[in-house]
A and B are shown apart, each in its own frame.
Chain A
Amino acid sequence: MADLSDRAFPLLEVRDVTKTFPGVTALSHVNFTLNPGEIHAVVGENGAGKSTLMMILSGVYQPDSGEILLDGQPVRIMNPSHAQSLGITTVYQELSLVPGISVAENVFLNRAPTGPLGLIDWQTLQEATRRLLESLGMDVDPSALVKDLLPSQQQMVEIAKAFSLHVRVVLLDEPTSSLSRDEVDRLFTLLRALRQRGIGIVIITHRVAEVFDLADRITVLRDGRVVGTWRAVETNPDHLVVSMVGREVKEAGHRTGLKLESVVMEARKISTPGLSEVSFTLHPGEILGVAGLGGSGRNELGRVLFGLQRLTGGELRMDGQPLKLTGPLDAIKRGIGYIPPDRKTSGLFMRMAIRDNIVAGSLGAISRWGLVRNELGDRLSEHYRTQLSIRSRSIFQPVSTLSGGTQQKVVVARWLAKRPRVLIVDDPTIGIDTGAKAEIHQLLADLSARGTAIVLISSELLELFTLSHRIMVLRGGRVVGQLTPVEFSDERVMVLAAGGSATGTQGMVYEHD
């Protein structure tokens, strides 16, 4: 391989590529280049075409027209394994791990080292995996089963899998959305090291701060078209957001006045594995923010309030009466709603239409005499499709054909449609673009203004600050502080959450852009 041709052509080039799906132009005359040793960020709203671009580069889709050049030579990337053999490797937005087998086998899936007789050489496999994981700074046991790992560890394995191959180009589609801050840092260190080695990296993210942290160049997609490509040093976050959304995104003053006369829900020293003696009161129309690092018990709090996890001590009360939740059904009957953090697996009916997904929680409300009245369901879904700008052809489009962030919106819509008295939301805007994030915030604020009490669990401080009437900080399963709006500051929360010092702030994102 002569390096004479250096700079003559980019490592990877996309020329005038168009890709349509029935009724949608996902990419329209897209041009894009990736140089060796470059980190190139692709940003844009939900449904802008980012994942589609990645999937064309990784051989999942074929472009309708246009061409792809590798080292200046036109190539047709036939399928994902062909892409791999060309040195283009992908870390998927959805995990593509096999849950029931070990980490090592997942990492070396179908490339496991074999001994004589073609049997898998387990020793070498374990050892190679251990070395790889160590070199990536990952603390995961190669023999552990993937299904026993935390979601963030699974993500790391997914990434390790990509790096076990001979790579020239790495494609990452929203790799950071389920990672803690520490893990994000480690991943970024890793990516920078790869850049040093001359590998080209394409990364999709919705976090503007990350883009500027990492990328050399930034390409903005909107409605399947390239708005522009800039060098990171030539642009700034505000400019970037405007070019993504096509307008300025304003977010301020969601908080409404509160009448603290009545109490909807009260927790008295509730405990459960991961949570001990947590107490709080919740008033109608109040948004109670819950902050905490990964493992602080913030997820457990959401689960226990929805009956997904049993109380081992303490008491929950609703409307002054003791509340013993036997499960989610019971919770829903009492007017409690829950938007889970893992919306892809616990929230979506993939093969069903947007309409059916939205009304899933409201079947009773749109039925009469045991019959579903479709016109009501259609109207309800149409309303939320507009309100949340759910980018789609119609409410009858199957959810499986929506972009990742758009799918998230559908789950959020289901719960907004149900209008519970108490709504627990766990990281409602992960993977959702800046513009839509502001819309979801507005909707949550509207809901609370109409009397719904909201427990807002979030890893994003800015989100907590814009919405909460009060923030409760958790550490090690205990409440370590309650802050009122005048006290809201990154530093205060981080100090409480991390226990005395603002270092080691894993699991929290504080993005101000």
Chain B
Amino acid sequence: MTEPGNEHKTFMPGAGTWLGRILRVREFLITLVIILSGVVMRLVTPYFLTASNFLAILIGLVPSGLIVIGETMVLVGGGLDLSVGAVMALSGTLAGLFMLSGLGIALSVLLALIIGGLIGLLNGLLITKIHVNALIATLGTMTIARGVALVLTEGFTVTNLPGAFSYVGQGSLLGMPPMVWLMILVIIVADIAMRHTTFCREIYYVGGNERAALLSGIPVDRVKMSTYVISGLLSASAGIMLASRLMAGTPTAGNGMELSAIAAAVIGGASLVGGEGTILGAALGTFFLAIISNASIILGISIYWQGVVTGIILVLTVAADMFIRQRSSPR
């Protein structure tokens, strides 16, 4: 056999490249920025860095923290899911309506979850079997889901839910509502799964080059479909937890959530062309956006400015990333 004699094995990570590499790990970059914002906020106001404010941020984070996981998986697979916010609203209201109609809490929750999963399945089928563009397909289901939620409730919030239902969102387990623990658990599990399980690795291949994935023996359609189902399920669970926290099913909840989920995933390193992104990055991205909005509230900045700030942050991170990549490797 031939020896790889003249191979360049002596790759010396010089100081420059070492720094470049760390900076290229998006999670590290965001953590840095989060800490930085924390320090700045601490200097500006005493109200920010307190346990109660931190808990408030975490509680507020639950729906978006769950939704961003599914959205990231879809994005990694080269897709896009616009229906997440609407599915969240629909399953929250449905869970409430089921409970009011006398179904037990467990059964209501289960049914709401199943419906979320089915909407995801519908997205997946439209996209893989009928080849509807992902943007159009999920725009369609988003509009339908939102519409159904409004029709069923005539626009009103569903209240008077059974008291026991509040436990997940308002109860306390080791100092935090159980739903916060649940979210943290799901994030950890999903992050590890995306890094190490065979199934999740396949998502990266599908997003990287669909045709090559197919010819390599990866069940492309099944993989894509699963990401949408998972996204649907997570959106539904987000809706249920929100309903539990508010003790109400709100048909208008999660408006615009799809865009902030995509923004958070992209800030966290996902790419709209697929094949890239991590759950940890996306979760940190969501956390970062939540901090910004929390800080704006504390500082009394108008809510209207928040959109502007979020947009600027999104553009800045992506631009910074492109800059770092171009500097550390041409093209």
Most chain A Cβ neighbours within 10 Å, of B2, B202, B211 = B2
B289-331 contact mask (Cβ, 8 Å, vs A): 1 or 0: 0000000000000000000000000000000000000001111
A405-445 contact mask (Cβ, 8 Å, vs B): 1 or 0: 00000000010001000000000000000010001000000
B168-225 residues with Cβ-Cβ distance < 8 A to A are 196-199, 201-202, 204-205, 208-209, 211-219
Taken together as a complex, chains A and B put the C-alpha atoms of A326 and B194 apart, in Å, by 29
In the bound complex, residues from chain A placing their C-beta under 8 Å from that of B219 are 329
Interface residues on B, range: 35 or more
Given known A61-B330, A401-B329, contact A347–B7 (CB-CB < 8 A): no
Set B8, B9, B11, B212: member contacting A360, Cβ < 8 A: B212
A245-260 contact mask (Cβ, 8 Å, vs B): 1 or 0: 0000000000000000
CB distance from B7 to the nearest CB of A (A): 6
In the bound complex, residues from chain B placing their C-beta under 8 Å from that of A439 are 2
A363-384 contact mask (Cβ, 8 Å, vs B): 1 or 0: 1100100111000000000000
In the bound complex, residues from chain B placing their C-beta under 8 Å from that of A348 are 209, 212
Q: B208–A352 contact, CB under 8 A?
A: yes
Given known A328-B215, A372-B196, A385-B4, contact A349–B17 (CB-CB < 8 A): no
Q: Is B96 an interface residue (CB 8 A)?
A: no
CB distance from B210 to the nearest CB of A (A): 10
A288-332 contact mask (Cβ, 8 Å, vs B): 1 or 0: 000000000000000000100000000000000000000011001
Q: A371–B196 contact, CB under 8 A?
A: yes
Q: Is A32 an interface residue (CB 8 A)?
A: no
Taken together as a complex, chains A and B put the C-alpha atoms of A389 and B6 apart, in Å, by 10
In the bound complex, residues from chain B placing their C-beta under 8 Å from that of A391 are 4, 7-8
Q: Is A503 an interface residue (CB 8 A)?
A: no
Q: Is A124 an interface residue (CB 8 A)?
A: no
Taken together as a complex, chains A and B put the C-alpha atoms of A109 and B2 apart, in Å, by 46
Q: Size of chain A's interface in residues, with CB distance under 8 A?
A: 45
In the bound complex, residues from chain A placing their C-beta under 8 Å from that of B3 are 386
Taken together as a complex, chains A and B put the C-alpha atoms of A351 and B3 apart, in Å, by 27
Closest to B17 in A: A22
Set B9, B217, B329: member contacting A332, Cβ < 8 A: B217
CB distance from A347 to the nearest CB of B (A): 5
Q: Is A235 an interface residue (CB 8 A)?
A: no
Taken together as a complex, chains A and B put the C-alpha atoms of A356 and B217 apart, in Å, by 14
Q: B204–A352 contact, CB under 8 A?
A: yes
Given known A223-B6, A386-B4, A393-B8, contact A372–B218 (CB-CB < 8 A): no
Q: B2–A23 contact, CB under 8 A?
A: no
CB distance from A427 to the nearest CB of B (A): 15
A327-353 residues with Cβ-Cβ distance < 8 A to B are 328-329, 332-333, 338, 340, 345-352
Taken together as a complex, chains A and B put the C-alpha atoms of A435 and B5 apart, in Å, by 14
Q: A328–B214 contact, CB under 8 A?
A: yes
Set A61, A347, A363, A394: member contacting B198, Cβ < 8 A: A363
Q: Can you list 20 A-B pairs, Cβ within 8 angstroms, ordered by A?
A: A22-B329, A223-B6, A306-B215, A338-B215, A347-B215, A350-B209, A351-B276, A352-B208, A352-B275, A360-B213, A370-B199, A372-B196, A372-B201, A386-B3, A389-B2, A389-B4, A393-B8, A400-B331, A401-B329, A414-B216
Residues of A within 8 A of B (CB): 21-25, 61, 223, 306, 328-329, 332-333, 338, 340, 345-352, 356, 360-361, 363-364, 367, 370-372, 385-387, 389, 391-394, 400-401, 414, 418, 435, 439
